[in-house]
């Protein structure tokens, strides 16, 4: 595959993965009380505090992935966040919607692991000067 196409797909991968997290983080930022309430309802302790860490992870991690900054590290952390979210919030396989969301989260983690393995590509802050 030629270099331009490889870089285009690397950028598209970063944008596709990050889109979900930036939108979700923004939504949580604009609905902190509701998000904290939902987290509490599934047994998350200190949800009123942890909600801010979740927002920071989703928004901050998503933006760093878009920019391609420290991509391998951020992608690894985002994969872990996504797997933990699947295990906490989508582990009821008797509910088909939850089972689908669990599988979706595992697939997203797979996309992040691909970024861990391959990096951000040349069209990124990580790729500048290469």
Element (H, E) at 88: helix 71-89
The pLDDT value recorded for residue 2 is 78
Q: How many whole angstroms separate alpha carbon 54 and alpha carbon 35?
A: 10
Q: Percentage helix, strand, coil, to 5, in the chain?
A: 75, 0, 25
Residues 34-69 have pLDDT tens digits of: 999 999 999 999 999 999 999 999 999 999 999 999
Mean pLDDT of the chain: 96
Question: Rounded to 5 degrees, what are φ and ψ at 94?
Answer: -70, -25
DSSP label of 48: H
In angstroms, what CA-CA distances link 80 with 10, 31, 75?
20, 24, 9
Q: What gap in Å lies between CA 4 and CA 10, rounded to an integer? A: 10
In this predicted structure, the answer to whether residue 130 has a pLDDT above a threshold of 80 is no
Report the share of the chain in percent with pLDDT over 70.
98
pTM score, whole prediction:
0.94
Summarised one tens digit per residue, pLDDT across range 92-112 is 999 999 999 999 999 999 999
Give the domain ranges of the chain.
3-118
Q: How far is CA 23 from CA 95, 116, 122, in A?
A: 25, 22, 25
CA angle 14, 69, 13 (to 5 degrees): 10
């Amino acid at each position: 595959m030629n270099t331009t196409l490889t870089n285009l797909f690397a950028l598209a991968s970063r944008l596709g993965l990050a889109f979900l997290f930036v939108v979700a983080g923004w939504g949580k930022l604009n609905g902190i009380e509701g998000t904290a309430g939902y987290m509490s309802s599934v047994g998350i302790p200190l949800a009123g505090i942890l909600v801010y860490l979740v927002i920071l992870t989703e928004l901050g991690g998503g933006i760093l992935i878009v920019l391609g900054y420290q991509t391998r590290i951020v992608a690894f952390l985002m994969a872990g966040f996504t797997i933990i979210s699947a295990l906490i919030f989508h582990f009821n396989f008797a509910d088909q919607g939850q089972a689908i969301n669990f599988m979706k989260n595992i697939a997203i983690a797979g996309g992040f692991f691909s970024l861990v393995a391959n990096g951000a590509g040349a069209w990124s802050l990580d790729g500048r000067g290469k």
